[in-house]
Amino acid sequence: MYIPQYFNESGPILLVDDTPDNLRLLSKILESKGFKVRKTVSGKMAIQAAQIEPPDLILLDINMPEINGYEVCRQLKSQERTAQIPIIFISALDQAIDKVKAFDIGGVDYITKPFQEAEVLARVTHQLIIHHQQQQLQTQNQKLQQEVRQRQQVEANLKKIQRVYEEKVVELTNQIQRSLELVDKMQLITTKLHDGLVEADIWQLVVQELAVSLELEGCFLTRCEPEFYNCTITHQYVNVQDSQACHLIESLVNSSKFYQQLAEDITQFCLWERQQTILIYSLFDTHGIFGNLWLLRKNAEMFSEWEIRLVKQVVYHCALALRQFRLHPGTSSIVGECVL
């Protein structure tokens, strides 16, 4: 009879019978074909042995003292570690009712005593082949489940990447749109600055257009004496009704210590308690800093690179407008030109 090669590497077969002669005979038949065999003479010992080292197959006698084969089978099938072990009953009971009960309780086959060697080998080999194929299917199923989980994870990661990419595209699109809007506003402001305005009107136009274009709570121009003594607000524009912006800027303007902490050209910081952001742009003439532009935002969001660029461009064109005003006949009270 053909015995698959992989049986030599399979687990043991557990023989359970209270008759030693039967155990010796079964053991001889199976071992002669290369099967590994373990033997026990009681149902209680069989349950313990199966729990310690689960066999690939159990040949189980029915009529045994203390615990019969039916009860042994029931207990093995009720425990997760041994539930999947195939059990072949071997018994002298040959009534149909006995065989039906054996199958009902979980047996996979039934051999009637006295048994024939060929029959025992055929039925054992058949059940081991089935058991081996079931294990292969289980392994393949687990592998497929793992592949499915991995694929689902990959799909989830791809969706996350796509979502981040789409959000980035929207963000960049909004930035580009905002940049284009700022460019349009810059062109409009530039046109207004070169309309032949006097100095006071130029500065008022600057604070007003910056406040409106950048949707600020307010924009202020302060003039300072050397060393930042006696600083005053000379021009302002406030977008929000009942705004406390003027009081806030005045409190900072009158603090000489505050000026010592400013950068040379641009400083911005958040007032977290008030949920406001302030950008301060220093104005220079030939003698140094003569004043500052104060931009107050009504939320704790820092000014973007494009917004700062707009401020710089406005100040630059303000300098050009002031230079034009200085060169125009009849001008007076010229402060000087602004430079970046």
Domain containing residue 53: CATH number: 3.40.50.2300
Q: Which residue has the higher pLDDT, 277 or 251?
A: 277
- Residue 148 domain-assigned? no
Mean pLDDT rounded to a whole number for the chain = 85
Q: Looking at residues 278-298, what average pLDDT do you find?
A: 84
Domain count along the chain: 2
- Residue 154 domain-assigned? no
- 88 and 203 belong to one structural domain: no
CATH number, domain containing residue 316: 3.30.450.40
- Residue 146 domain-assigned? no
> What sign does the dihedral 179-181-187-192 (CA atoms) show?
negative
- 20 and 110 belong to one structural domain: yes
- 199 and 79 belong to one structural domain: no
pLDDT higher than 50, residue 214? yes
Q: How far apart are CA 241 and CA 244, in angstroms?
A: 9
Q: Which pLDDT score is estimated for 339?
A: 39
- 103 and 202 belong to one structural domain: no
Q: Which pLDDT score is estimated for 333?
A: 39
Q: How far apart are CA 43 and CA 66, in angstroms?
A: 8
- 71 and 132 belong to one structural domain: yes
> What one-character-per-residue DSSP string does 119-152 give?
HHHHHHHHHHHHHHHHHHHHHHHHHHHHHHHHHH
Q: C-alpha angle with apex 310: 308 to 314, nearest 5 degrees?
A: 120
- Are 322 and 203 in contact by the 8 Å Cβ rule? The answer is no
- 12 and 126 belong to one structural domain: yes
Q: Looking at residues 116-133, what average pLDDT do you find?
A: 91
- Residue 129 domain-assigned? yes
- Residue 17 domain-assigned? yes
- Residue 233 domain-assigned? yes
User: Which range marks the domain in which residue 275 is found?
Assistant: 194-327
The answer, as to whether pTM is greater than 0.95, is no
